[in-house]
Amino acid sequence: MAWTRLPFLLHSLVETGAAFTFTFRPKIQLPGASPETILVLRSYGALLWATVFLGGYFGVRNKYDGSSVAFGLSMAFYHVFPIYRAYVRLLSRPGKLGEQRVLGGPKVHLLVHLVCLGSLVAAVLGT
């Protein structure tokens, strides 16, 4: 089932921008962050890079097995949290002017992470 590999590539594509900003430009993600907070943000960026690389690997390899399902479930679980973050941001700051929009803002984040979650769940259930 070649289509089951696409959600992994989608995850990698989506998370590359976030991995880059959290790792190399953390103050874009959290303006005014303390030096200690920047270290934590960069560590999170490194974790995102790890999922980008793994997503790329699972997206191009020729088999879909138990490890693919486990990684798919792990990434589906992960996407719940950016969805929640985007939802909370939308509720707390609806239509606020002058807000810095990082990588598209909360509406885009909500939609993109919902698509990632749905595609990963579909891939896992489609096996």
Q: Which residue matches tokens 């289509």?
A: 3
Q: Which residue has the higher pLDDT, 1 or 76?
A: 76
Q: How confident is the model at residue 105 (pLDDT cuts 50, 70, 90)?
A: confident
For the chain, the average pLDDT equals: 91
Domain boundaries, the chain: 2-125
**pLDDT, tens digit (0-9, with 9 covering 90-100), for 30-67:** 999 999 999 999 999 999 999 999 999 999 999 999 99
Question: What is the pLDDT at residue 97?
Answer: 42
- At residue 9, the 3 state secondary structure works out as helix
> Please, are residues 14 and 55 in contact by the beta-carbon 8 Å criterion?
no
- Position 99 pLDDT exceeds 70: no
Q: Tell me the pTM.
A: 0.86
Type of residue at 79: H
Give the whole-angstrom CA distance, residue 7 versus residue 10.
5
